[in-house]
């Protein structure tokens, strides 16, 4: 193999694809879209809280008004103004239905956001929320909780129960999680954060594998359908072509992922908090599995991709490989709950699943050294087999135009030469 030619091919693949408009668009547009989807809803939600809302209160029990307005004083907007102001519609002198009608008029005139109606019928209290927009769930549930507490306290007082003793007896319990490690039981508040950092890492790994895999398959299809293959394999060996492509397009995929991470970190800012010391200890192993997984999938993509002759076929193929790649994410939470179970341990030895499963396991509970060594050995063996087979298939398949080889033909190529 001639390294100069491999590098020449790698450089060509990288620069030609990097100059394409689609690459530049995806480099910028993808993080922008992600940020928009991630930040827009919370930005919109905050926007809704920017002004004080007037809420009407029609209370036939007559006990809620004072304690509720007391509690609402604690709920303020970012500018210090109260979030809600109560407008009472007394029911002592007027029938409750005309009080409700008065509140409805104010709601329709848009001077009031909504109104809470509390009726006491034979000891059972029924509450309702009336508004032009009754689907404001967070508002409804916060009023529900507050009024429920007020009424409970009223009833306890009426029944002669000591409310202070009651709330002591009803103290909520906080449960913190502590991860026990070799270095002694440390309180690790950041465990979930660590886990999600790993989760994001795995997702980035998948994006890297998929974008590179797709561009590998697409460039092979292009060279086949444009009849460039013969020129290429007369200028260098198929192996050089394969390695050059792998190198160039991997660099391209890595550039993309790194750019996204930088844009993401710059935009979100708090990323640094998430990286706890926990993830740093298992980081070399995570990186190793990441590289092994990448090598495995990329060589799989290039072998299968060289069999493909049209863009449609390439989409079907990459679609199935994507499903296999993403599958372990579906049971990531099962793995997290029971990382030692036999099925998880057994699946960790399936090369298609090894990298993802082991990365999840590394951050939840460190697998035994024997398992780590075993899975790495399996991965290395699987990669060698896939590279060997892909190389053989690649060498013959790239010169086949129009006709897709049969499964039997592919087996023949593997046996021959």
Partner 1 sequence: MIHAEGLHKQFATIHAVNGVTIQAQPGEIFGLLGPNGAGKSTTIRMITNIIRPDSGTISYSGVPFSDSIRSSIGYLAEERGLYQKSRILETILHFAGLRGMSPKTAHRHATDWLGRFELAGSESRRVEELSKGNQQKVQLIIALIHQPQYIILDEPSSGLDPVNQELLRAILDQLRDEGRTILYSTHQMEQAERLCNRIVLINKGEVMLAGTVQQVKEEHGGNNVAMEFEGDGRFLRQLPMVMEANIYPNGAELALQPNATLNDLLPHISQQLRITRIERVRPSLNSIFINTVRRTTGEAITTTNPTP
**Contacts with partner 1, residue ranges (CB under 8 A):** 2, 4-5, 8-9, 12, 16, 20, 222, 226-231, 233-236, 399, 401, 417
CB closer to partner 1, 99 vs 217: 217
CB closer to partner 1, 244 vs 339: 244
Nearest to 347, CA basis, from 363, 369, 331: 331
CB closer to partner 1, 12 vs 388: 12
Please report how close the Cβ of residue 9 comes to partner 1 at its closest, in angstroms: 7
Please report how close the Cβ of residue 389 comes to partner 1 at its closest, in angstroms: 19
CB closer to partner 1, 198 vs 241: 241
CB closer to partner 1, 5 vs 53: 5
| Angstrom distance (rounded) from CA 122 to CA 117 | 16
CB closer to partner 1, 215 vs 375: 215
Dihedrals phi, psi of 243, to nearest 5 degrees: -70, -35
Q: What is the 3-state secondary structure (H, E, C) of the chain?
A: CCHHHHHHHHHHHHHHHHHCHHHHHHHHHHHHHHHHHHHHHHHHHHHHCCCCEEEEEEECCCCCHHHHHHHHCCCECCCCCECEEEEECCCCCCCHHHHHHHHHHHHHCCCCCEEEEEEEECCEEEEEEEECCCCCHHHHHHHHHHHHHHHHHHHHHHCCCCHHHHHHHCCCCCCCCEECCCCCCEECCCHHHHHHHHHHHHHHHHHHHHHHHHHHHHHHHHHHHCCCHHHHHHHCCHHHHHHHHHHHHHHHHHHHHHHHHHHHHHHHCCHHHHCCHHHHHHHHHHHHHHHHHHHHHHHHHHHHHCCCCCHHHHHHHHHHHHHHHHHHHHCHHHHHHCCCCHHHHHHCCCCCCHHHHHHHHHHHCCCCHHHHHHHHHHHHHHHHHHHHHHHHHHHHHCCCCCCCCCHHHHHHHHHCC
Residues 6+ away with beta carbon under 8 Å from 372: 285, 358
Please report how close the Cβ of residue 75 comes to partner 1 at its closest, in angstroms: 59
Please report how close the Cβ of residue 403 comes to partner 1 at its closest, in angstroms: 12
Please report how close the Cβ of residue 249 comes to partner 1 at its closest, in angstroms: 15
Please report how close the Cβ of residue 227 comes to partner 1 at its closest, in angstroms: 4
CB closer to partner 1, 1 vs 192: 1
Please report how close the Cβ of residue 399 comes to partner 1 at its closest, in angstroms: 7
CB closer to partner 1, 143 vs 243: 243
| Angstrom distance (rounded) from CA 89 to CA 69 | 14
Please report how close the Cβ of residue 279 comes to partner 1 at its closest, in angstroms: 41
Whole-number Cα distances in Å, 147 to 68, 121, 126, 170, 250? 7, 17, 11, 18, 59
CB closer to partner 1, 248 vs 328: 248
Please report how close the Cβ of residue 77 comes to partner 1 at its closest, in angstroms: 54
CB closer to partner 1, 9 vs 209: 9
Tell me how many degrees the CA angle 374-379-383 measures, rounded to the nearest 5. 150
CB closer to partner 1, 232 vs 376: 232
Please report how close the Cβ of residue 16 comes to partner 1 at its closest, in angstroms: 6
Partners of residue 88 on adjacent β-strands: 57
Please report how close the Cβ of residue 314 comes to partner 1 at its closest, in angstroms: 17
């Amino acid at each position: 193999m001639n390294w100069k030619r491999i590098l020449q091919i790698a450089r060509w693949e990288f620069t030609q694809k990097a100059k394409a408009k689609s690459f530049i668009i995806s480099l910028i547009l993808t993080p922008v879209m992600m940020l928009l989807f991630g930040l827009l809803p919370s930005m919109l939600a905050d926007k809704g809280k920017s002004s004080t809302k007037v809420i009407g209160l029609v209370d036939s029990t007559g006990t809620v008004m004072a304690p509720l307005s007391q509690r609402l004083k604690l709920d303020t907007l970012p500018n210090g103004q109260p979030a809600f102001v109560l407008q009472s519609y007394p029911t002592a002198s007027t029938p409750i239905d005309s009080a409700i009608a008065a509140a409805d008029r104010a709601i329709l005139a848009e001077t009031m956001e909504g109104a809470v109606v509390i009726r006491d019928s034979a000891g059972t209290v029924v509450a309702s929320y009336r508004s032009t927009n009754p689907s404001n769930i967070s508002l409804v549930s916060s009023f529900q909780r507050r009024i429920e507490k007020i009424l409970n306290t009223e009833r306890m007082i009426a029944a002669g129960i000591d409310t202070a003793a009651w709330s002591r007896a009803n103290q909520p319990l906080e449960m913190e999680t502590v991860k026990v490690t070799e270095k002694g039981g440390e309180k690790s508040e950041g465990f979930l954060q660590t886990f999600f950092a790993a989760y994001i890492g795995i997702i980035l790994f998948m994006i890297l594998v998929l974008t590179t895999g797709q561009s590998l398959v697409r460039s092979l299809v292009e060279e086949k359908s444009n009849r460039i293959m013969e020129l290429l394999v007369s200028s260098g060996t198929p192996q050089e072509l394969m390695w050059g492509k792998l190198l160039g397009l991997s660099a391209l995929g890595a550039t993309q992922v790194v750019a996204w991470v930088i844009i993401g970190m710059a935009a979100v800012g708090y990323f640094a908090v998430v990286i706890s010391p926990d993830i740093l200890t298992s980081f070399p192993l995570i990186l190793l599995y990441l590289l092994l997984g990448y090598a495995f999938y990329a060589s799989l993509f290039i072998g299968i991709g060289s069999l493909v002759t049209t863009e449609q076929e390439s989409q079907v193929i990459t679609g199935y490989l994507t499903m296999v790649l993403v599958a372990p994410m579906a049971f990531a939470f099962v793995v997290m709950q029971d990382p030692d179970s036999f099925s998880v341990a057994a699946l960790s030895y399936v090369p298609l699943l090894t990298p993802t499963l082991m990365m999840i396991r590394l951050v939840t509970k460190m697998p035994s050294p024997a398992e780590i060594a075993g899975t790495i050995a399996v991965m290395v063996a699987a990669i060698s087999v896939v590279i060997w087979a892909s190389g053989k298939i690649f060498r013959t398949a790239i010169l086949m135009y129009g006709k897709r080889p049969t499964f039997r033909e592919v087996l023949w190529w593997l046996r021959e030469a």
